[in-house]
């Protein structure tokens, strides 16, 4: 699973230390994208396209 977060509005667990993130979110990766920037939108579309090969699940928590 890959979690996509907004800059400075991501999961508060990141502030608890790196070991806490690893323990509470095993096998999860995360990236930060600022969708107000064109490059971030392009990266997102490329990411989605690459994930379509592996039956992704999308959740929106905005």
pLDDT value of position 39: 94
How far apart (Å, rounded) are the C-alpha atoms in residues 31 and 29?
7
List the domain range (segments joined by +) for residue 6: 2-54
* Average pLDDT of the segment spanning 46-61: 72
| pLDDT over 60 (residue 62) | no
> Is there a domain that residue 37 lies in?
yes
Distance CA 35, CA 6 (A): 8
Distance of alpha carbon 38 from alpha carbon 60, whole angstroms: 20
Q: pLDDT tens, 4-42?
A: 777 777 666 666 666 776 677 677 777 888 989 999 999
Report the C-alpha gap between 47 and 24 in whole angstroms: 24
Tally the domains of the chain: 1
What is the reported pLDDT for 37? 93
Q: Has residue 49 been placed in a domain? A: yes
In a domain, 59, yes or no: no
More confident residue, 44 or 29: 44
Backbone angles phi, psi at 20, to 5 degrees: -65, -45
Q: Which candidate, 28, 20, 15, places its Cα nearest to that of 57?
A: 28
């Amino acid at each position: 699973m890959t979690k996509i977060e907004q800059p400075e509005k991501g999961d508060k667990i990141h502030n608890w230390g790196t070991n806490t993130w690893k323990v509470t979110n095993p096998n999860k990766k995360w990236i930060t994208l600022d969708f107000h920037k064109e490059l971030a939108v392009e990266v997102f579309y490329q990411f989605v396209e690459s994930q379509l090969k592996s039956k992704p699940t999308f959740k929106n928590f905005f």
